[in-house]
Every structure is written in structure tokens, then in C-alpha cells.
Amino acid sequence: MFNFNKDNFLKVTNGALGLRGQIEDIVETLNERGYKNLFLIGSGGSIAIMYPFEYIIKTTSTLPVFAEIAAEFVLYNHKQFGPDSLVILSSLSGTTKETVKAAEFCKEKGATTIGLVGELGTPLADLSDYTLVNYSENDTASESIYLQLYLLIFKLLQVRGEFSEYTEFADELERMPSVLLDVKEATESQASQFAKLNKDEDYHMLVGSGSVWGETYSYAMCVLEEMQWIRTKAIHAAEFFHGTLELVEKDTSMILMKGEDESRPLMERVERFALKVTDKLSIFDTKQYELKGISEKYRKYLSPIIIASLFERVSTHLEKERNHPLSTRRYYRVVEY
């Protein structure tokens, strides 16, 4: 695969899975102490990665769950938030200002916090009551955080008596590093072709739904806009027919991210429409991948990490074809704002 470090990828993903024992111990402790609800807090890509788990919990559990954008969360009086809330925060660098401020806010309010970071000794790591650390860089961060959250969230559900299959599911997660490698390799040709065809495209519509909506939002804003300076619009499939459809023309680039949960019919409806109108339709569908060793019943939960992992290949090829490094910024962490 082009510009891909297989050994590092395996080190990072296996490192995330290696936190299983620590995660299970934390959850058992929290279960004994008790908590009323769960808040998932982040900024940018870090909140986007929380959205799938908010969806999964809402469709699997009676646990009240709230995914909140860090900067907004600290400014309004959330009536469900308090000392008996459990909070999960994520920041790869551990220094994201808005997320650190949210952690400080949670500490002041007496809530229990779990921080997911890439390095110890960072503000978020130091502020959190429980800290999960797995070093990674931007190209492996999504898989690292996802794998930790799968273990953490589903263990929380297990001890509540709402996911008895946790042990089997967690055991199957051990296969995900090799599964994700297969996904990347299977995507390489499509990713390369997409990048070549779209290297000069200046606007994309990205459509997703259900547990994949967070990745749709994230890829539009945090990759195509932030890292490639391409204008985009992220549209939820359920809302596509309430406005955005009127902007689709023959030469409009549409990117569909199809997962395998209950919302898939919404994506199929958008696909049927798009096929009739635009000549620039790109479809990335988790259902086309085999996922060796993963039970059929768990595939719907894993759609977000599959989408995230395969789009890493798209990003790498776009970077090459557009001669625009993914690390280049004009404003983010460059100027004060």
C-alpha cells in the first residue's frame, strides 16, 4: 500500500486492544460506585468519533447518553449533568483547549471522568480520574480510539446487563488489526481511482446515517476541509430530501458512506436518487468487506471503524494526487483565534 507503515499500524491497534484489562477494571469499579448517565465529550474529530457510540447506546441500552461538543458544553447549564455523571473525553494530543476546559469544568462539578489520550503528562491525561493512553499519530488515531471505545462502551453495557455477548465481542475485536489491514488493502484501488478522478474537484456532498454519521461529518470537516481545503457539505441521509437534493446536478460530486445498521434504508434511498441525477457518485459500503473472524451480528457496530479505516487510504491518495500534505494548515494551531 502506498505510504503506509504496516508495522506501526499493528503496533498502535494492538496497543489499543492491550488496554482491555485496564478498561474492564475501570468499568467494574465504576459499576460498584454507580453513576446516573453518560456524557461523551470532544472537539472536531474527537466528538465525531463519539457520535457512533451515542447511537449504539441509544439503540442498545436504556442508559441516558449525551454526546456534547466541548466548547458548547461548558457554556450552557445541562440539566442532566452533575456529580453523578460519568464523562468520557478524547483528545489525541491531550492538549485540545476546548476539551481540556471541558475536563476542568467536569472536575469542578464533581463528575467522574475517563480521558483517552495519546500521551501521558498532558493536560487531559492529568485532569482525568481514569486515563487510557495509547500512542498514535493522526493516520492511526481513529482506529486506536475506536477500539478503546468499543471495549469501554460495551463493557459498560455488559455490567448493566444489556450486552451479555461482551466477552465474545471483545475476543473478536482482537482480530480487528488484521481485519482492518484487509479492508485497507481491498480499498487501495478504489481510493487511488477516486483521488485521480477527484483531485481537482472543489466541492463534495458527503452523505451518511446512523452509526456512520459521525464519520461523515468528520471526514467532510476534519479531512477534506481542514487537511485538503476543499469545500464540502455533510448531510444526514434522513435530511437529504429536505433541502440538499435541490443542489444536486449532473456534475455534483456525491460521496455515500454506507454502514450496516438500522439506518441503511435511508442511504439506499439517497443512492437511488443520486444514480438518476449525478455522474459523479462515489459509494463506500462496509457491506462489501468480508471482515474475517467477525460475527455477522457484530458488523453493524463496526461500520464506523471500517469507514474510518478505509477513508485513511482515500486521504493518503488525495494528498499525493493534489500535492497537498495532510499536515498543512493556514490557521489551525498556527494563529490565535
Q: What confidence tens digit (pLDDT) does each residue in 26-37 have? A: 999 999 999 999
Q: How far apart are CA 106 and CA 100, in angstroms?
A: 10
pLDDT tens digits, 59-94:
999 999 999 999 999 999 999 999 999 999 999 999
Determine, yes or no, domain membership for 289: yes
Q: How far apart are CA 332 and CA 90, in angstroms?
A: 18
In 3-state terms, what secondary structure has residue 181? helix
Residue 238 and residue 269: Cα distance in Å, rounded? 9
CATH number where 275 lies: 3.40.50.10490
When pLDDT is averaged across residues 7-27 and rounded to a whole number, the result is 98
Whether residues 96 and 39 share a domain: the answer is yes
- At 177 the pLDDT is 98
Strand order in the sheet with 203-208: 231-236, 203-208, 253-258, 280-285
Q: Number of folded domains in the chain?
A: 2
State the distance between the two ends of the chain, measured CA to CA, in whole angstroms.
Answer: 38
pLDDT tens by residue, 268-278: 999 999 999 99
Are 170 and 336 in contact by the 8 Å Cβ rule? The answer is no
Please state the rounded mean pLDDT for residues 198-204: 98
* For residue 138, pLDDT beyond 90: no
pLDDT of residue 52: 98
Which residue is listed with cell 489491514?
A: 181
- CB–CB of 230/253 below 8 Å? no
E strands, the chain, in order: 37-42, 65-69, 85-91, 112-117, 130-133, 203-208, 231-236, 253-258, 280-285
Residue 137 has pLDDT above 90, yes or no: no
236 and 262 in contact (C-beta within 8 Å)? Answer: no
Q: In what order do the strands lie in the sheet with 65-69?
A: 65-69, 37-42, 85-91, 112-117, 130-133
Provide the pLDDT for residue 337.
Answer: 85
In a domain, 332, yes or no: no
**Beta bridge partner(s), residue 65:** 38
Looking at the structure, do residues 164 and 194 belong to the same domain, yes or no? no
Residue pair 51/181 in contact by the 8 Å Cβ criterion: no
Q: Tell me, what's the pLDDT at 271?
A: 98
Does 115 reside within a domain?
yes
Which carries the bigger pLDDT value, residue 244 or residue 332?
Answer: 244
Considering 143, 173, 203, which residue would you say is the last residue of a domain?
Answer: 173
What mean pLDDT do residues 7-12 have? Answer: 97
Residue 183 lies in a domain: no
17: nearest Cα among 118, 167, 149, 113: 149
119, 199: one domain: no
pLDDT tens readout for residues 276-302 = 999 999 999 999 999 999 999 999 999
Q: What is the dihedral of CA 42, 48, 50, 56, to 10 degrees?
A: 160
- As a whole-number percent, the residues of the chain with pLDDT over 90 amount to 98
According to the model, what pLDDT value does residue 19 have? 98
Pair (127, 161) in one structural domain: yes
The CA-atom distances, in angstroms, between 103 and each of 36, 130, 294 are 18, 12, 35
203 in any annotated domain = yes
Query: Do 153 and 196 sit in the same domain of this protein?
Result: no
Note whether 111 and 51 are same-domain residues: yes
C-alpha cell at 156: 459498560
What's the distance, CA 277 to chain centroid? 30
User: Does 116 map to a domain?
Assistant: yes
Does residue 169 sit in the same domain as residue 193? no
Domain that holds residue 198: 189-322
State the chain's mean pLDDT as an integer.
97
User: Which stretch of DSSP H or E encloses residue 243?
Assistant: none
